[in-house]
């Protein structure tokens, strides 16, 4: 009897308790927005597998009733993983769900996707997970839903007359490009919040985030962000474009920057602003003698028009998001 696996269920009110359960000892912050229930599989007081079923009603995928599986941790134990997902699916079906997506910690604002080659070194702000996780999910019927990639480009001096002309036009029309105001960091975040919400609302599986959750997510970055590598474009007092870049704090061997977020207003007046922001970022990287730039976690839409191509970027890593009908 002592070898029986036990299923533990943690309600929304018990989410803090669930967050303390360690399986892989990664101890990352567990998002609680859209948390519906936490499920853990235990044997002889050892946790073998756990995950959260998130129900985010703002996410739509085709005509399916979607729920998300995130905060996933597991040991290499096939029986425990199967028991975990049997219970996840049972509770999802009880809520009218017919399609699961994951890994996703509640929304695309949080960590989601699995590495396709998890043995490769991580860069800063990249998700972490055990190398066998994707195989565990595929073994119980999850199939690829979307593909993503990161590219890397070598930093070298160059001139682009087309981008110079775009910049001149934008400045002539009154667009101002500035760095992050770290002395008024919270104020800048509060200005960025509605802009990013509007900019990303057409993205695949996007859902809104509350201002308080947005601030909670980005306040910890204040100590690591360098003002010159966060490009903010404003016009008539309103933010119309942003590039969020940071040092790769995990790379001790060379000076590497990461472009994490890039967005611009869709209005015709700001056409080309993304190229200009990347070029400004790139020129500052040259001046500061950085060696390479990573264009992080872009969705693969089957074309070759990414901004990284403008700077001779090449593929660094790929990632996959999975789905399963239930």
Both 66 and 177 in a single domain? Answer: no
Q: Is the pLDDT of residue 294 over 50?
A: yes
| d(C-alpha 178, C-alpha 231), whole Å | 6
DSSP state of 222: G
| d(C-alpha 115, C-alpha 130), whole Å | 9
Q: What is the mean pLDDT of residues 4-12?
A: 96
Domain that residue 167 falls in? 156-290
Q: pLDDT per residue over 152-166, tens digit each?
A: 999 988 888 999 999
Give the angle 142-146-151 at the CA atoms, nearest 5°: 130
Give the angle 204-216-187 at the CA atoms, nearest 5°: 95
Say if residue 103 is preceded by a cis peptide, omega within 30 of 0.
yes
- Structure tokens belonging to residue 131: 């190398």
Lowest average pLDDT, out of 18-27, 50-59, 303-312, goes to 303-312
Task: Reduce the DSSP state of residue 5 to 3 states and report it.
Answer: coil
Is 119 a member of any domain? yes
pLDDT band at 107 (very low <50, low <70, confident <90, very high): very high
Model pTM?
Answer: 0.93
Is 254 a member of any domain? yes
Is 312 a member of any domain? no
Both 169 and 93 in a single domain? Answer: no
Q: Specify the CATH number for the domain of residue 67.
A: 3.40.630.30
Q: pLDDT per residue over 222-267, tens digit each?
A: 999 999 999 999 999 999 999 999 999 999 888 999 999 999 999 9
Q: How many domains does the chain have?
A: 2
| d(C-alpha 196, C-alpha 186), whole Å | 15
Is 319 a member of any domain? no
| d(C-alpha 208, C-alpha 107), whole Å | 9
Among 121, 147, 173, residue at a domain's last position: 147
């Amino acid at each position: 009897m002592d070898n029986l696996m036990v299923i533990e269920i943690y309600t929304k009110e018990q989410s803090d308790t669930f967050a303390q359960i360690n399986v892989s000892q990664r101890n990352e912050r567990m998002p609680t927005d859209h948390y519906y229930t936490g499920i853990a599989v235990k044997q002889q007081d050892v946790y073998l597998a756990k995950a959260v079923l998130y129900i985010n009603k703002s996410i739509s995928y085709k005509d399916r009733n979607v729920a998300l599986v995130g905060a996933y941790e597991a040991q290499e134990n096939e029986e425990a993983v199967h028991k975990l997902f049997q219970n996840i699916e049972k509770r999802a079906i009880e809520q009218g769900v017919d399609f699961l997506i994951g890994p996703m910690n509640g929304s695309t604002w949080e960590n989601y996707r699995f590495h396709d080659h998890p043995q490769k070194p991580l860069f800063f702000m990249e998700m972490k997970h055990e190398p066998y996780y994707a195989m565990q999910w595929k073994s119980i019927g999850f199939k690829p839903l979307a593909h993503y990639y990161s590219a890397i480009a070598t930093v070298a001096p160059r001139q682009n007359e087309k981008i110079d002309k775009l910049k001149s036009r934008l400045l002539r029309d009154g667009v101002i490009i500035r760095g992050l105001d770290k002395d008024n960091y919270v104020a800048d975040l509060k200005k960025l919040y509605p802009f990013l919400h509007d900019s990303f609302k057409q993205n695949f599986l996007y859902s809104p985030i509350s201002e308080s959750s947005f601030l909670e997510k980005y306040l910890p970055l204040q100590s690591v962000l360098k003002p010159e590598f966060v490009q903010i474009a404003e016009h008539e007092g309103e933010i119309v474009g942003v590039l969020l870049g940071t040092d790769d704090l995990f790379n001790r061997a060379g000076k590497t920057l990461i472009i994490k977020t890039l967005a611009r207003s869709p209005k015709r007046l700001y056409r080309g602003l993304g190229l200009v922001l990347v070029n400004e970022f790139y020129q500052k990287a040259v001046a500061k003698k950085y060696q390479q730039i990573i264009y992080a976690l872009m969705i693969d839409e089957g074309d070759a028009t990414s901004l990284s191509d403008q700077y001779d970027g090449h593929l660094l890593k790929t990632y996959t998001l999975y789905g399963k009908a239930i």
